[in-house]
Amino acid sequence: MRVLIIDDDETTGYLLKYWLTDGSLKEDGIKTIYRQHCKDASEIINKEKIDLVLMDVNMPNMNGIECTKKLKENFPDLLIIAISSDNDENIQNDMLKVGAYDYLSKPLVEDIFTKRIKTYMLLSGLKNSPKKESAVNNLFKDKVFNFHINFPVYNEDSLVELWGAMLVRFSYYQNINDLHNTVSNIYTFGLEMFKVQNELIIVIEENENFLYFTIKSTLVIDKTIVKNLTDNYNQDMFIVDNNKTVSIKLNKLSETENSINNNSISISTKQYVLEEKLEELEIFSIFDNEEMDDFDNQLFLIQTSLKRLNNSYSKTDLEQISLSIDKLASIFMHHNELKILYRCMLDFKNILLFDIDTKQKFEDTYKLISTYIEDIFTWNKKVFLEGSPSINFMDDSFVANIGTIKSFLVPQDSSSSIDDIFDF
């Protein structure tokens, strides 16, 4: 992966260069070029085959917004990430409109920055994504922003990777009706395709008014499967072409907002929407010794049961996980600062007990369940061992994934807003 860093502040520029080439990303073989201005950026990108640009917003002569707009006109497939100490929402939205994929706030934290870079590596050309056929992929033929993702999907793992990678971008879309259900619908659609060894390409585009999802199939899709997908939308919101391509569009109700507290959309949560402005990571001691011992013991029981479930379905093991989750909720209940975690655990327990009542439902939701449990272990590791920005730094992720599992099991009414998916 080749990265161009454009920042007039040398300290920031060389710090990013160090993190990318000599820090925890050293083994990824990232090549970097640093410039203090945008003057020769096009020439560098063309000559060096740049995959990713880290773009400062506030620079003399040509600012980051102007530079991003210019670069996206010449290199529409280029991934550009804005980095700035300016947290003005209008500026953030302007950067997104001209084609930036994400907006990171200074000062950055290395651990958080590294996780985001891993996401960007996934979204770059490193996944052997085929070249885009045209500037517009949606069947509506509507003009779109420079931002779009063209992602090949070969199996359930790659489908999960796509939504994990899109977590960052989806965090800006808190007011789009039916976005959560669309993620779930496409996920279900993908699972049906893999049963007949059908590969897909999913293209995501946007403009001022709509967010577009276009699914391209290598084979003709069974009409029943297409109908199961399109029945979730009004007739003017989807187009089907020869049962090999389907486009869906969703209304954008308001300007996108870059808020850390938005309910993000996710299936895989290895990448989190975090608040980079927090300067220090802290190790917390919120549990007394008895609570901590009980907490660790329940995690062990969950891990053991999940390993057995990975080999074969067992209602007993599923009930054990539910019981352990309930005990975790009991621990969280006594700490007011963990009230969101407490409610998420109760919801998760109820899902395991009442909603996943057959072996087939368990097999269909296994990856969603296991990634939610993985979040619990990640939260424990960061909060108590390695350090985290706060004890609530993963609240959005827990909430989003509970909503995803619920939506997958019991699709929401299409008239409901994204916030209606969550119980609190």
Domain ranges of the chain: 2-108, 128-274, 289-392
pLDDT at residue 134, as a whole number? 45
Element (H, E) at 351: none
Quote the tokens at residue 416.
């409901």
Residue among 60, 70, 82 nearest 8 (CA): 60
Distance CA 383, CA 391 (A): 6
Please say whether the dihedral angle defined by the alpha carbons of residues 335, 339, 345 and 349, taken in this order, is positive or negative: positive
- Radius of gyration of the chain from its Cα atoms, rounded to whole angstroms: 22
Beta bridge partners of 217: 200
Whether residue 403 contacts residue 165, with contact meaning beta carbons closer than 8 Å, is answered with no
- Selected from 2.60.60, 1.10.10, 3.30.420, 3.30.565, the CATH number assigned to the domain covering 128-274 reads 3.30.565
The token pair at 369 is: 């369940």
Q: Which two tokens stand for residue 108?
A: 């950055």
For CA atoms 32, 33, 34, 39, give the dihedral sign.
negative
Alpha helices in 259-358 (DSSP H): 289-311, 315-333, 339-350
Which residues, 6 or more positions from 343, have their beta carbon under 8 angstroms from its beta carbon? 423, 424
Bridge partner list, 52: 3, 79
Sequence-separated (6 or more) residues with CB below 8 Å from residue 14: 34
Calpha distance 239→248 (Å, rounded) = 7
φ and ψ at 204, to 5 degrees?
-115, 125
Both tokens of residue 5? 């860093």
Give the residue among 3, 1, 6, 60 at the shortest CA–CA distance from 35: 6
Contacts of 45 (CB under 8 A, 6+ apart): 4, 53, 71, 74, 75, 78
For residue 213, the Cα-to-chain-centroid distance in whole angstroms is 15
Tell me the three state secondary structure of residue 85.
coil
> Distance between CA 410 and CA 351 in Å, rounded?
11
From the list 142, 182, 180, 172, the residue with the least C-alpha distance to 255 is 172
Instruction: Write down the pLDDT at residue 36.
Output: 92
Low-confidence stretches of the chain (pLDDT beneath 50): 126-134, 254-279, 411-424
d(CA 424, CA 343): 8
Give me the phi and psi of 411, to 5 degrees please: -55, 140
For residue 143, the tally of other CB atoms under 10 A from its CB is: 11
Architecture per CATH, 2-108: 3-Layer(aba) Sandwich (3.40)
- 43-49-55-61 Cα dihedral, nearest 10 degrees: 0
* Residue 171 pLDDT: 56
DSSP 8-state class, residue 395: H
- Give the integer Cα–Cα distance in Å for 154 and 342: 36
The whole-angstrom separation of Cα 191 and Cα 172 is: 27
DSSP one-letter code for 411: P
Q: What strands, in cross-sheet order, belong to the sheet with 102-105?
A: 31-35, 2-6, 52-56, 79-84, 102-105
Give the pLDDT score at 239: 95
422: phi then psi, degrees, rounded to nearest 5: -95, 145
- Strands 31-35 and 2-6 turn out to be parallel
